[in-house]
Structure 1
Amino acid sequence: MKKVSPVLRRSFTLFLLAGMMGTVLLTCQTMKEESETELPLLSPIRPGTATPLAARDTSPLATLTLAPMAAKATVAALGSQHKSEATPRPLTPIQSSQDVISAVLNDPLFKRSLDDSAFGPRIKDAIPGEPVFVISLDPKKNDYYLVPFYKNQQVSGIAVVGVVDGAGILGMWSNATYDKFPVVDSAEAQKLIEAEGFKIKGEPRLVFRWLRESGDETSPFWEVETEEGITFYVIHIMNKTKIYRADEVHPIG
């Protein structure tokens, strides 16, 4: 085999080096051109268009059955002038649901409560609903009415109207937040007892007496009698509904 001459070998080496340098220069030039090329801008992200919720009818008249002239009576009471604390509190003869509502709206204490920081926001613009009759199980206490007030389709407060010799007077006002009143109705109370395997006798009665298991006067409970001879109390308190036998509760006072 013939040996390659030193001159030819050096020439070949120089040729390879030149080729490599050319490749490097070409690559650098290409990278430079690519780096100087203006990249296309990304399309801006468009904010999503929220679908508005359907307008909700917030008028209490939309869902409530009001006592006659209740709304008109409310407007009259809210527009009246407050009287001094020395003003005697009136007794209103009770012959209709409207009379019970009037006993609340015309009471001087109720009118002054419109400016009270705790009660005013619950009372202003609220509409009284149908009064609820409560039977007292305490022989020392009289029967009474509860008048729920509604605001923004919710119960905002409850007025207690005591009845003495056929006349009503405002006893107390309690702020509240319920979807309806009573929170548990008569039909629901019956179903709870029937679910325990008992047959209902007669109609449930809305009653109250002070019990360790119950709340105050604004939280009456249902008395349900059964054909088996057992009387139950359906009591809703602290967002829970419980069933008690009448002979196992603990009266107070």
Structure 2
Amino acid sequence: MGYQNRQPPEGINYVSNGWQKDFVLLVVGFFAGLALLIWLAMLALGWSARWIPFSWEQALSRPLQQTVEPDQRLRYLQGLADDLARAGNLKKPMTITVHHQDSDVVNAYASLGGHVFILEGLLDEVKTEQGLAFVLAHEIAHVHHRHPLKATIRQLGFGVMMGLVFGNTDIAQLAGAGGQIAMLNYSRDLEREADAWALAALQKHYGHVDGADALFQWLAEEKADEAPPQWLSSHPDVQARIERLRDISREQGYSLQGKVTPLPEWETASSEAAPPTDR
């Protein structure tokens, strides 16, 4: 049989579904792979925080050290923080330094090096020591679990990766915004972890957790209409948070009733201080 130079079939270099489907699959695959890579990198960066000495955090946060003589209010806050740190078994050699800020914002936050900031607006709205103690213990829990350091490392790592992949482009900004939304879920997990630690510290310090949800009750009544959807928030939904505190208390056998103590007179000078109540 002789050799025959046959022509290839017509359309051999084309696919029936066109190039669009292959292009979409390529783009989707690229971003899915990139998301997986970033997720794994964020896990590794968060895990690595445990190996960074706390003394390094303290060195970075040295400008936050107190430069003024503490007044009666600050001494009270620091003493309460020290008691709660002992009750929660704060990891050694960690220490807590409390700061007071004259701001109307109802908030508190923890920073690198064990620095915890209590804003005046919080002291105006939370009327009992137990309500304040839970917020304070919650911020101490962030320090205990190295949350400020983990969040800082993850943010820096995420920014570097976005810059390496996309450069200074509009796509980088779009991908960064999407990544930030995704990281909000990680932030909410940290908040839940801190809530559980704080609740345990209150139970050990006071013998009960009555009044622990005072701030959340206030937020549910006063700020419910201002709260964004949970997926756009760094904190869990307030009502869900209240229910979760109750669920944890029941599961762990914490006492839900006990003596609730008003804040000292320097915090309630504008109104008549109510005596401690048993609920």
- TM value normalised by structure 2: 0.28
Choose between structure 1 and 2: higher helix proportion: 2
- TM value normalised by structure 1: 0.30
Choose between structure 1 and 2: higher strand proportion: 1
Larger radius of gyration between Structure 1 and Structure 2:
1
